[in-house]
Amino acid sequence: MNSSNIKKKFYLTTAIDYVNSIPHLGTAYEKIGADALARYMRLENYEVHFQMGNDEHSTNVLKAAREKQMDPKAYCDEMRGKFTEIWAKLGISYDDFIQTSETRHHRAAQKLFETILKTGDIYEGLYEGWYCESCEAFYTEKDLIEGLCPHHKSKPKWLSEKNFFFKLSKYRQALLDHIAAHPEFILPEIRRNEILSLLKSGLDDISVSRAGFAWGIPLPNDPTHVVYVWFDALINYLTAVAYGVDEEKFSKWWPADVHIIGKDITRFHCVIWPAMLMSAGLDLPKTVFGHGFVYLKGEKMSKSLGNVVTPLDVADVYGADALRYYLLRGSSFGADGNFTWDDFIKRYNADLANDLGNLLNRSLGMAKKYFNGHTQEGEEAESDRALIQKAGETGRKVREAMDYLRGDLQYHRALEAVWDLIGAADKYIDSSAPWTLKKEGKETRLKQVLHNVFNCLRLIGMWLLPFMPATAEKIYSQLRLPLPKTFAEGAPWTAMPVEHELGVAAPLFPRIEAAL
């Protein structure tokens, strides 16, 4: 991954979210994971465009608006405020936030529909089949589990209506060929294998319109139909980079470098979406990454299932970075994870309060006690080499863990590497025994020991910037150092000032005794 002064572009997106209720922890997991990657790539000196948004043209949203006796557009605008407030509290650093009810999106969706229509890949026909309103998806009999939606455990409705169809079946072989030539198109491998299995079993054409709906994007060729919500929603990735409006901006950012989505919607993003783009003559995204779920007591969190922990249940009490750390440390991003209050409290106290918080506090305390809050270089010793080597290894391990093209996003490995450095710095203090050096009058050696520890804390803060940005800023504030703009600027061991006045210690994560 690039660390030079020449900035390359990196276009990153998440799935856009239904606004029939506020985000749950599983939704936040996706946004936190994507944000960590966006922040990481900025620190690797990439020009990043990180896009999120809300998916508003669903029947569930229309229902929710009616229940509140609100106009659907006014309801969506109100929910945008609630969503963006939550994302701000979680430190999500998106560059653009799309609403599918915006004029710019209507324009992009209609342009793409017209482009595909001209190829002959859209035709009129009769749709008959099962439709789940919760996930706005059509299902065949074989897709259902005991007659119920496989994701929401609710009974779908039987629909029979005249619709416009997209010739998805036409692109089956082209999709297989693309995946074979570009295995990084679908990550991790388990998601790729699922899609290959789906493609090998055959594809049917899909409905891309709904008749008799006023809430939605009217078809340019028949205003009595609106664009089917999933077809509409996928186009948001083009809307965000000015498709059909600003050719220079579009050619700069498209194709997307990575779509980060939940594993339950890979069918839409890895089959339907690339087929739409092929039909329109547009480049395909470079990678679609299907992340795992966060489970609560072994069951996927879902608004429709009613088993939800909200992000603010955690962040408002324990801080956003505690939640970010817990979710990212638990497992690789491609695998499923679990949330339990007991485990959250244990990790918070052990990793955040004890390991990280105590290292910073004890180090600043010793600098205050021995050198009036100053640090400077002193006398080096052979025993310093292992710590300096460990600090260098940390950066290499973080970079390896964040290179998703290796097959997965391993945030947990990146954080594990940082915590290894925290542990090494703590052991270094114990083995160097600053209190003994002070007692024996070995001032120059004592200076170097503390200077090495503060250099480690500086690097720990830097490598935490993508994952725990507010905590990293607090560490740098207490060290009284400016935040590095890039890893290249901050990574060298020599980046630490030779002599420096430190800041005042303050608890990063006060210990807690019980869950909510």
pLDDT in tens, 167-192: 999 999 999 999 999 999 999 999 99
- Do 422 and 468 contact (CB within 8 A), yes or no? no
pLDDT over 70, % of the chain: 96
Q: In terms of pLDDT, which residue wins out, 235 or 407?
A: 235
Tokens 């061991």, located at residue: 493
Please tell me the predicted confidence (pLDDT) of residue 434: 97
Helix axis angle, 172-181 to 189-200, nearest 10°: 150
- pLDDT at res. 298: 58
Within 10 angstroms of residue 73's Cβ, the number of other Cβ atoms is 14
Reported in sequence order, the residue ranges of 69-211 that DSSP labels E, i.e. its strands, are 96-99, 122-132, 137-139, 157-166, 186-187, 206-207, 209-211
Tell me the C-alpha distance between 87 and 47, whole Å: 21
pLDDT band at 271 (very low <50, low <70, confident <90, very high): very high
The pLDDT of residue 302 is: 59
- CB-CB contact of 438 with 365 (8 Å): no
Q: Is the pLDDT of residue 261 over 90?
A: yes
What does the mean pLDDT of the chain come to? 93
CB 243 within 8 A of CB 230: no
Q: What's the confidence (pLDDT) of residue 309? A: 81
Q: What is the share, in percent, of the chain residues with pLDDT greater than 90?
A: 83
User: pLDDT band at residue 516, thresholds of 50, 70 and 90?
Assistant: very low
Structural domains in the chain plus CATH codes: 342-501 (1.10.730.10)
**Band of pLDDT at residue 151, cut at 50, 70 and 90:** confident
Burial class (CB in 10 A: 0-12, 13-18, 19+), 382: exposed
* pLDDT for 135 beyond 80: no
344 touches 468 (CB < 8 A): no
Decide: helix, strand or coil at residue 380.
coil
11 strand-pairing partners = 49
pTM, two decimal places: 0.92
pLDDT higher than 50, residue 158: yes
The tens digit of pLDDT for each residue in 296-351 reads 875 565 555 556 688 998 999 999 999 999 999 998 999 999 898 899 999 999 99
